[in-house]
Amino acid sequence: MSYGRREPREMHKAVCAECNQECEVPFKPDGSRPVYCRECYARRRPPRRNRYRY
């Protein structure tokens, strides 16, 4: 992996696997794992609880 692209933060369009809304994520969705929007992502990651690995 090499950083130092033109844009500091490259956003990729994706569809949230939770609410099915179009969103943008700072990483490239590779299709092997579900993508979540910010809200769903935060909802799925509680501050400190059981660490389910899905």
- By beta-carbon proximity to Zn ion, the closer residue of 28 and 43 is 43
Q: How far is CA 35 from CA 2, 8, 52, in A?
A: 22, 21, 17
The reply to whether 40 sits near Zn ion by the rule CB under 5 A is yes
Residue 42 engages Zn ion in binding (rule: CB under 5 A) = no
Is residue 35 a contact point for Zn ion (CB under 5 A)?
no
Half-sphere exposure of 44 (CA within 13 A, CB side): 15
Instruction: DSSP letter for 45, please.
Output: S
Q: Report in angstroms how near the CB of residue 9 gets to Zn ion at its nearest.
A: 19
Residues that bind Zn ion (CB under 5 A): 16, 18-19, 37, 40
